[in-house]
């Protein structure tokens, strides 16, 4: 499916460890909540540095919001260490991915496709 026929409709999230995707889902146009509490028992079984939290931002908004920064700091404290916390913007010429803090990650292509599918819909 060509990107040109798709449009951004909502933010989306994905949480992964080195073993695979722990959770993924849809948010709203400019907001998405990571379901930390729902997956806490699983999350805390991993060393923080093996965890990766990525969310989709609307195109042309590749900056971390104040809420993102607060969320990152609180989660770092709760997990007891640093992890990869990133955002991705899908744009016509490709995508922009950024990470906050000292860890970054390379997402497998299928994770990017999943995030794109969760955040976009085909143009009518
Ligand atoms: Zn954000």
Domain chopping of the chain, boundaries: 3-122
| Burial class, 110, CB count within 10 angstroms (exposed 0-12 / middle 13-18 / buried 19+) | exposed
pLDDT the model gives residue 1: 46
Q: Which CATH architecture has domain 3-122?
A: 3-Layer(aba) Sandwich (3.40)
Q: Tell me the CA–centroid distance for residue 65 and ligand 1, in Å.
A: 5
Q: Tell me the CA–centroid distance for residue 40 and ligand 1, in Å.
A: 20
pLDDT the model gives residue 2: 52
| Burial class, 101, CB count within 10 angstroms (exposed 0-12 / middle 13-18 / buried 19+) | middle
Mean pLDDT, 10 residues at a time, the chain of 124 residues: 75 95 96 94 96 95 95 96 96 91 93 96 86
Q: pTM of the full predicted structure? A: 0.92
Q: Tell me the CA–centroid distance for residue 80 and ligand 1, in Å.
A: 22
Q: Tell me the CA–centroid distance for residue 55 and ligand 1, in Å.
A: 6
């Amino acid at each position: 499916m060509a990107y040109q026929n798709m449009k951004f409709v909502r933010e989306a999230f994905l949480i992964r460890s080195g073993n695979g995707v722990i959770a993924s889902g849809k948010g709203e146009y400019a907001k998405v909540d990571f379901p930390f509490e729902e997956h806490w028992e699983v999350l805390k079984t991993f060393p923080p540095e093996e965890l990766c939290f990525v969310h989709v931002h609307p195109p042309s908004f590749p900056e971390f919001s104040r809420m993102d920064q607060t969320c990152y700091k609180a989660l770092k404290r709760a997990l007891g260490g640093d992890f990869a916390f990133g955002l991705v913007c899908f744009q016509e010429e490709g995508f922009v991915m950024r990470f906050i803090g000292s860890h970054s990650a390379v997402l497998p292509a299928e994770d990017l496709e999943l995030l794109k599918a969760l955040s976009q819909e085909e143009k009518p």
